[in-house]
Structure 1
């Protein structure tokens, strides 16, 4: 038994040394590499096309969302008194005029995860800002037009009932929420409503068609998002709309006359392809859109407990304060 324990300990040390060497060679943190390797072994994106999985998510989308008690206590989150189906996260002490209107990711099918609340709680504290996060209706029970209706109503009521000043307002969103944030900015421009001072998008899903030819090569590097499953989620979310509609895929919408937009994305994310397409369009049209690319990082890496996320969050904080 003693010999087996010695052998096991030596094996663990050898694996750790190998990971450390590999991380150093790739110039990334050990923790980020360990997370990536874990994600490769434990697929986290379910196949919603399977009847049992679809039925389960159908029932969940009909039932709505309940804020978990541990999130309420750990991250100072609560239901908004003024805004229906909306979560508010505030710093524990001083609250400034700054507000973040946050649209969470989850392929338009899934509710916010603990990683969202952990990151948003940190931002709320460091910025002394309140964070307003609408829990928009989910597919497959609801579709893009339903989601936009709810987000628009929440936004209007936020400006009126919560008296949020657009001059101190930032839009943020990750993954599907990042795409929704850009779509909604286009809606605000078309309807001539007040817009935020800036938008910050984390690994945004900008084109739900999944037709970008660069995705194929990126798929080999991405341990999280299978493009076929993701595209199916997008098709269902689109509902009666075309998947090329700007309300669904904002990459095909009008991008001029929007506030400054900063995009944070990793190169091991299939959505990096669309971020690069956005960057090319921004350069051609001289738009105030900036892409922050992080080598070897995975989907929505900014929510991970890794040094690269800490660096990105520092940049995000400074952008909001600028």
Structure 2
């Protein structure tokens, strides 16, 4: 690890503490600026597509390699293909395959379960396009929780299941009761109990935060495919991510929990500036390749 890299990022994040008075529009514009600052690797082709009627971008390093549906983070309120193009592009390069970054609808204009409906429609279309060849689902933060919920909805509907699930700092419990919010909040420069509640309120729009389609931590997880969860040891989602891993194991699911020391929430997005971001995505890509070739 480069301590200078980490210190510079932490200083930058702490210059912009969470302000509940800032609305959805400015937050979206700020997050989408990542698409202006960071680019996918040059060998990755970028193509706008639609999956099940939902806009997306196909990021291709090798059309013959593994395929992935990627669900971006942003608390179900922010995030887009622009904010996550560089992340999906590096995953595609590391996988030597294709990543489809989905531009699902956002809350509060389209609250729960609209993003889940979009993700299921996109997965159904990708599975049909693959014609039985294996494919996986991944996502960071809210997109990580959405990846689990998508697989659970597919299981319930008898749809084709993904061959693996990857959750990067996944948001699997929209409640904020975990003690990690208290113990790790001061160490996580990007997320807090107040921020998580702000995003959850807009997504749920009065729905029960313990609904397993919103908070898959409370779901029956039996029958899910192999899972990789990556979480930083200094992020407020640590406790819920660890509990999700335990619940997956208890349900008989093959699951790995990869804990990254000194990492904050969704450090993967900072891969152009942080060696650990690139290394974590390389680990995720290796898991995906392994799972899809099994």
TM-score, with length taken from structure 1? 0.78
Match of 2:70 in 1: 102
Any stretches of 5+ residues in structure 1 without a counterpart? 1-26
**1:314 and 2:274 correspond:** no
In the TM superposition, residue 321 of structure 1 has moved relative to its aligned partner by 1.8
**1:39 and 2:13 correspond:** yes
Q: Secondary structure at the match of 2:130?
A: coil
Aligned Cα root-mean-square deviation (Å): 2.9
CA distance in 2, matches of 1:97, 1:219: 39
- Of 301-310 and 132-141, more deviation after overlay is shown by 301-310
Q: How does 1:194-233 map to 2 (within 5 A)?
A: 194-233=160-199
Instruction: Choose from 139, 146, 149 the match for 2:107.
Output: 139
CA distance in 1, matches of 2:135, 2:110: 28
**Superimposed CA distance per residue, residues 188-219 of structure 1 (whole angstroms, 9 cap, x where no aligned partner):** 11112111111111000011111112321111
CA distance in 1, matches of 2:160, 2:219: 19
**1:149 and 2:149 correspond:** no
Q: Which has the larger radius of gyration?
A: 1
Cα 1:212–1:166 change in 2 (3 A) is farther
**Superimposed CA distance per residue, residues 78-119 of structure 1 (whole angstroms, 9 cap, x where no aligned partner):** 320565332223335x41142110000000000227562112
Q: Secondary structure at the match of 2:210?
A: coil
Contact 1:104 1:174 survives alignment (8 Å)? yes
Contact 1:212 1:273 survives alignment (8 Å)? yes
Contact 1:72 1:78 survives alignment (8 Å)? no
Contact 1:29 1:308 survives alignment (8 Å)? no
Match of 1:264 in 2: 230
In the TM superposition, residue 280 of structure 1 has moved relative to its aligned partner by 2.8
- Of 83-92 and 204-213, more deviation after overlay is shown by 83-92
Match of 1:250 in 2: 216
Contact 1:209 1:235 survives alignment (8 Å)? no
Q: Secondary structure at the match of 1:321?
A: helix
Alignment length (residue pairs): 283
CA distance in 2, matches of 1:241, 1:225: 22
Contact 1:166 1:197 survives alignment (8 Å)? no
- Of 32-41 and 81-90, more deviation after overlay is shown by 81-90
Contact 2:174 2:214 survives alignment (8 Å)? yes
- Of 69-78 and 234-243, more deviation after overlay is shown by 69-78
- Of 185-194 and 274-283, more deviation after overlay is shown by 274-283
Any stretches of 5+ residues in structure 2 without a counterpart? none
Cα 1:72–1:268 change in 2 (3 A) is closer
Cα 1:225–1:316 change in 2 (3 A) is same
**1:86 and 2:55 correspond:** yes
**1:302 and 2:276 correspond:** no
Instruction: Choose from 98, 103, 114 the match for 1:130.
Output: 98
In the TM superposition, residue 240 of structure 1 has moved relative to its aligned partner by 4.6
Cα 1:239–1:315 change in 2 (3 A) is same
Contact 2:40 2:90 survives alignment (8 Å)? no
Q: Secondary structure at the match of 1:152?
A: helix
Match of 1:117 in 2: 85
TM-score, with length taken from structure 2? 0.85
- Of 203-212 and 309-318, more deviation after overlay is shown by 309-318
Higher helix share: 1
In the TM superposition, residue 307 of structure 1 has moved relative to its aligned partner by 1.8
CA distance in 2, matches of 1:96, 1:135: 24
